[in-house]
Amino acid sequence: MTDYSIPRPVSGDVVELILDDHRLFESLMREMRDSSSDRAGARDAFAAVLVAHGEAEEQQVYPRLRRKDAIDEHEAEHGEEEHAEINQALLELLECKGTDTQKFDDAVEKVNEVLQHHLTEEELTILNPARDEVSEADRQALGSAFLKVRGEHLDAGVTVETVRALVQDAHAEGLLEDEDD
């Protein structure tokens, strides 16, 4: 597996938990850019937490924030589209045979580009409304639901096949444009 530790909190405010994962993504991105680090280990940890995080947001966070009118349908769908774009870039990264190639460096750069765009938008358009419009008790309950799904996905593990299936599902749901479009 990996020597990179993925934190497994058991409770917390969903906004803070999501932000903690965002900072973890950024740290693992730095590790993947560092030629002296365990880039393969960083990539494995990054893929595991990225998929677990995205799936937990889509299954628990976005639907509940919509029900609480903290976000609208467009914001939830846009978040899902961006997760699909990130998963597509992640698939390219996972398909790289080695970690000491220009192809790997280019794939890291592509993932970082789509990820940073998503983190900025999500923090502004989803997490800020959640802070302002959702009670602390509801954010704590949502944090528990988020962590449960996140943990299930971390326990199941992530493979290139897992990510390929997520990308294929996103294409089928119309979340990603076909290369032909």
Tens digits of residue pLDDT in 73-93: 899 899 999 999 999 999 999
Cα end-to-end span (Å), the chain: 37
Short-list 56, 71, 113, 68, CA closest to 89: 113
**So where are the chain's domains?**
14-172
What's the pLDDT score for residue 180?
A: 52
Separation between Cα atoms, residue 40 and residue 34, nearest integer Å: 11
| Dihedral Cα 107, 110, 112, 118, nearest 10 deg | -140
> Distance between CA atoms of 128 and 168, rounded to whole angstroms?
31
Give, as one character, the DSSP assignment of residue 179. Answer: T
Tell me the per-residue pLDDT of 12-69, one tens digit each, with 9 for 90 and over: 999 999 999 999 999 999 999 999 999 999 999 999 999 999 999 999 999 999 888 8
Q: Over the chain, what is the mean pLDDT?
A: 94
Q: Who's near 15: CB < 8 A, 6+ residues apart? A: 127, 130, 131, 139
Give CA–CA dist 26/176, Å, rounded. Answer: 24
What pTM was estimated for this model as a whole?
Answer: 0.94
Q: Is the pLDDT of residue 2 over 80?
A: no
